[in-house]
Structure 1
């Protein structure tokens, strides 16, 4: 999947999806075993890993595009999900009460989650620049 102008490597798309799935796994483990982690990490890691998963998911779909596009899409998506938690209709609360619904939609609006999402996206962007996209500064 190499572009002729050499802007991205063929393995990048695979790297992004594997990294997104790894972030999802870390997030689930950080929630499940939060009692084994230091309090600060146990409290914040799940949302940070969730935002990192979102970022790498967007990079998977936007491979070859500028990093800033993935950052903006990740912020809009994450913030959109968080602000949607202010909407409390019965039908969506039923979805949120399921395991999958809670993982995707969350349960209730918390301002600190916005900070966690920004932190996760910033960390993911840094990891992306240093380890995945390399010299192709997009």
Structure 2
């Protein structure tokens, strides 16, 4: 579906998802284990979907979904590369949040769920179909 995205709404959603994602890590000791293991990755991919929607406000939802999917999977597969220079970046807070630390197959499933959630939310909230 082709929609014209409101950047203010997408910005608010991006910030809300970031807060939820960081909260799922910060309060991990108080939440169920699955929340720490998977929910943060689902939210990370949803955030990527929202960022792509924010940046490319006139692109088709499918385009945003595929771009988000490719970006997320590329980041995950990049974790198989363990050179000292990139591990130095991963060792920083922002580098670790963006690039991750180690490849996990389960993260690919979580990313798919997050991007799928973004597609469904966009369909339900921003279109009449």
Which of 45, 49, 59 is the equivalent residue of 1:51? 45
Which of 89, 97, 101 is the equivalent residue of 2:95? 101
- The runs of at least 4 aligned residues of structure 1 exceeding 3 Å deviation read none
Other-structure match for 1:14:
8
Other-structure match for 2:84:
90
CA-atom RMSD in angstroms:
1.3
> What is the rounded CA distance, in whole Å, between the counterparts of 1:8 and 1:103 in structure 2?
29
How many residue pairs end up in the alignment?
127
Please state how far the C-alpha of 1:42 moved relative to its aligned partner: 2.7
Which of 106, 110, 124 is the equivalent residue of 2:104? 110
Q: Secondary structure at the match of 1:86?
A: coil
- Cα displacement string for residues 81-128 of structure 1 (whole angstroms, at most 9, x for unaligned residues): 000111111100111111111001000111100000000110111111
Q: Secondary structure at the match of 1:64?
A: coil
Unaligned runs of 5+ in 2: none
Query: More relative contact order in 1 or in 2 (CA 8 Å, sep 6+)?
Result: 2
